[in-house]
Amino acid sequence: MREDWIEAIKTIVDESRIRLQEPMSRHTTFRIGGMAEIFLMPTIKEAVDVITLCRAKKIPYTIIGNGSNLLVGDKGIPGVVIEFGANASSVEVKENMIHAEAGALLSKVAHKALEASLGGMEFAAGIPGSIGGAVVMNAGAYGGEMKDILVSADLLTKDGEVVEVPVEEISLSYRHSRVMETGEVVLGVTLKLVSGEKEKIEAVMQELRQKRQEKQPLEFPSAGSTFKRTGRLFCRKADYGCRVKRLSCGRCPGIRETLWFCYKPWAGNCSRSGRVDAQGAGKSRTGVSGKTGAGSKKVRRIFMKLVILTGMSGAGKEYST
């Protein structure tokens, strides 16, 4: 670990929000992952300054959100991990517009919308992720997507500029945005919702919450739905088209109840390798890629894959070693 890195970071982020050799298992919903060399919990302004510092000094850095769709290797993450979390999660409501910092949980933003009797965000209330990650991969559920309510996003460009980009220029499509290609960082978002009746909005949220509880193993650590929908192939059809539902690898019981969920049904240790093997086998039997977008042969390679990691279910990012 470079002491000069730490000293430089301390000039930006208070020491109380800097952790060394932090277990990533504490910051992923899978509850797995090795150590982060340097783990930061900055404000948005501090995050911008840290990223600028890392780029200038060529310090490797990784950005995470809620960790709800993050698969971290057993050897951990070198360099700096920047968490867009509680310190980067302010939410402001003005009439039918909401501005939220990237670290704000979707559930928090949806609750703020409910308090203001604003509809249109009901679909996102149960998605376990951050609003920044939601924009990165155009999160959606139950017929709604972020592109339906997004007005603009505040992005940190690769040149270090902070710019407000209208939704039309972010190229949102199914579980994809331009941010995945450009290396930009989502710092905040502006949403436009519709005035409605609070009771009706709450009823829809409750209905969708009930559907999730009935169909998904929410009581266990997971990253949500493991596979993307491809063309006309839907979850139920894929489930009954193969026997992957009973797949397990090593210490990971793996996929149970439904092909689309790969989870850890106990609090003990579980490695990334078993998780990846399960995803790869799922692809080989169904033709549907896991959210990491790679089969087991590819992801087993010894290589470092540094990407902008989001906390969104459905985004599907992996840091392997």
3-class SS letters over 210-261: HHHHHHCCCCCCEEEECECCECCECHHHHHHCCCHHHCCECCECCECCCCCE
Question: Of the ranges 156-170, 193-207, 262-276, 298-312, which one carries the lowest mean pLDDT score?
Answer: 298-312
Q: Which of 105, 60, 65 is nearest to 83 (CA)?
A: 65
Give the span between the Cα atoms of 178 and 172, in whole angstroms. 7
Give the span between the Cα atoms of 200 and 131, in whole angstroms. 23
Residue type, 113: A
224-241: pLDDT as tens digits? 555 555 554 444 444 444
pLDDT at 192 over 50: yes
pLDDT for the residue numbered 68: 83
Give the span between the Cα atoms of 303 and 206, in whole angstroms. 44
What mean pLDDT is reported for the chain? 78
How large is the average pLDDT for residues 48-61? 97
Question: Of the ranges 21-25, 33-37, 249-253, which one carries the lowest mean pLDDT score?
Answer: 249-253
| 58-178-131-103 Cα dihedral, nearest 10 degrees | 10
Q: Can you give the pTM of this predicted structure?
A: 0.76
- Written as six digits, the tokens of 76 are 């951990």
